[in-house]
Amino acid sequence: DAGVIQSPRHEVTEMGQEVTLRCKPISGHDYLFWYRQTMMRGLELLIYFNNNVPIDDSGMPEDRFSAKMPNASFSTLKIQPSEPRDSAVYFCASSYDGPYGYTFGSGTRLTVV
Amino acid sequence: AQSVTQLDSQVPVFEEAPVELRCNYSSSVSVYLFWYVQYPNQGLQLLLKYLSGSTLVKGINGFEAEFNKSQTSFHLRKPSVHISDTAEYFCAVSDPRGAQKLVFGQGTRLTINP
């Protein structure tokens, strides 16, 4: 298996632009998570899905952030409009149902200028 | 609500020396515990996990951790570190009733000096 695949690896955009981050989970995994990592706040859970349904989005910072999972093999995290404080590394992770731990993708480093 | 405290933000050690990275958790229920490692510019990888049973858990790359319920700790240890162990290490906790949602600590940066 190729693991959790995220794209792009790096994204530089101007303030106010729309940004879309993409994730392909491991085939057969029931859960998908989006995390944000910054120096100041560490790893923050933004949202997670179970069988393509959003379960907990309480970590989504504000209405500018949205996430979708249209099918079991694809998820997006969208920021519109983007702001400099959104600069961070965004990780996607997936897992089976149960305490197996997550498999993380390599992350997308977002820089908003 | 659960929380995790990693007591040291940075730990410098010399190569071949032993190391302990400390993790304490707070929870009113039983927990599952995990350690992850993040190498530069990479995602997190699972090192080891404690679900139940033996309190000493062995993981990859020679690491082990000990669950101590009375002290609510899950410290990570390695008897002899290598330069390649330089990375950030994260402790995480989950509630068995909702095991999929992990709460992570702030991380400990382990730096190995030659």
CB atoms within 10 A of CB B4: 22
Residue A29's nearest CA partner among A60, A7, A50 is A50
Mutate to test the interface with B, among A5, A49, A56, A100 (most CBs of B within 10 A): A100
Residues 6+ apart with CB under 8 A from B28: none
User: Which residues of chain B have a CB within 8 Å of the CB of A39?
Assistant: none
How far apart CA B110 and CA B114 sit, in angstroms, is 13
Compare CB distances from A48 to B44, B46, B100 and report the shortest one's residue.
B100
Mean pLDDT of chain B: 92
How far apart CA A58 and CA A62 sit, in angstroms, is 10
- Cross-chain residue pair B102–A97, CB shorter than 8 Å: no
| pLDDT confidence of residue B95 | 82
pLDDT band at B99 (very low <50, low <70, confident <90, very high): low
Compare CB distances from A91 to B32, B43, B96 and report the shortest one's residue.
B43
**Helical segments of chain A, H only:** none
* Residue-wise pLDDT tens digits, A27-79: 999 999 999 999 888 899 999 999 999 999 999 988 999 999 999 999 999 99
